[in-house]
Amino acid sequence: MTSPDSVLLSPIDSYANRVWMAPLTRSRSSMPGNVPNELMATYYEQRASSGLIIAEATPISPMAHGYYATPGIHSDEQVAGWKLVTDRVHSKGGKIFLQLWHVGRVSHSVLLPDNQQPVSSTDVISQSKTYIDHSMERHDNTPPRALETDEIPGIVQEFVDATHRAKAAGFDGVEIHGANSYLLDQFTRDGVNNRTDQYGGSLENRLRFPLMVAKAVVETWGDPSGVGYRISPLSEHKDVRDSDPEATFSALARGLGELKLEYLHAVETWDRSELDPRVEQVIPAIVKSFKDAGGKHYIGNGDYSPEQAESAIDSGWCDAVAFGRPWIPNPDLPARIANDGPYRTPTPETFYGGGPEGYTEFAPLEEASTN
């Protein structure tokens, strides 16, 4: 990794390098109000050397929340808080996109206005758990209700409104969260979408809502180079599955490519030591569909080591790699990659909630080496 010709550290178009920061939920926003704050601004500023920061998943409306203290993008106070973040990242020469999030059924009524039920493609309860207060203890989700057909355009409008707010907050672009069992994924996969209207059943119908969102977000941003989309085609999180992920996500990728999106970002695995053997067939098929249709970049994600990332980019598998957990204790990750480490190990106990501990307390390489 010490070579100045390192593929991983080389630029990709307008990005400084190919070491990107994946969205990481940290639950440090100010409560009540789910407002981004000074601590978050420091956290992102410390990581501005990323080729692109994809900021943590951010609910687009009060009904889009599913976890305690996740920052939103649906109030003026939240926009002002995010402006602190983007200004600090830009002051260090960084670029930052905001991930637009609706959790759907992965929620609890305590987190929602007037203790409402979560909404989804279905009325089947999610088998995952969530945390609803500062204790970060996990609770069963609340049974959801299926969205009425005439409610879905309103959710699309919430994505539009959030995109306007993201632009006002100074973000360089947005990423649509279509992965990891959340609302758009709940419509995409036939294992959880049991609808009988025009948003369920056939593949065309199941993709209708996600592609409506993507088209509306691109039109709102005004330039597809400011829009990405995240998927997790082989994830079988709890009860969220698809009978033919290659066909489903290739078709979705084709539709996204036709919109000329800046990138498609895929969670390939959670654990590279147990890599699903389907990855070698499914991911290239999806990427080909995306790029053949006019999409720009493919971003790999999923427990990559720097060496694996270098190989993946060099082979043409992906155009950049979005690292997640390595960024948590290594805020200057590209510099550490260039120097072959050293790398700190993250501590899961500090991932969610709390203050500076496990969040902003890590000295960069040049400071650590002088201590």
Write the pLDDT tens digit of every residue in 190-227.
999 999 999 999 999 999 999 999 999 999 999 999 99
pLDDT at 239: 79
Please report, for the chain, the start and end positions of each structural domain, with discontinuous segments joined by +: 19-368
| Sign of the C-alpha dihedral computed for residues 347, 178, 301 and 224 taken in this order | negative
Choosing from 182, 199, 229, 298, which is the catalytic residue?
A: 182
306 by DSSP, 3-state: which? Answer: helix
Would you call 182 a catalytic residue per the annotation? yes
Angle value at C-alpha 28, between 107 and 210, nearest 5 degrees: 45
Rg (CA), the chain: 19
The tens digit of pLDDT for each residue in 149-168 reads 999 999 999 999 999 999 99
Torsion of CA 263, 344, 350, 180, to 10 degrees: 30
CA–CA distance, 245 with 242 (Å, rounded to integer): 6
Rounded Cα distance, 88 and 40, in Å: 10
List, for residues 294-331, the tens digit of each pLDDT value. Answer: 999 999 999 999 999 999 999 999 999 999 999 999 99
- Bridge-based pairing state of the strands 145-146 and 138-140: unpaired
Residue 41 pLDDT > 80: yes
Distance from first CA to last CA of the chain, Å, rounded? 24
Structure tokens at 236: 């079988």
- Strand bridging mode 138-140 / 129-131: antiparallel
Split at pLDDT 50, 70, 90, the class of 348 is very high
Query: Which CATH code, of 3.20.20.70, 3.40.50.300, 1.10.10.10, 3.30.930.10, is assigned to 19-368?
Result: 3.20.20.70
Listed in sequence order, the DSSP H helices in the chain are 38-46, 76-91, 152-168, 183-188, 203-221, 245-258, 279-292, 306-314, 333-338, 365-368
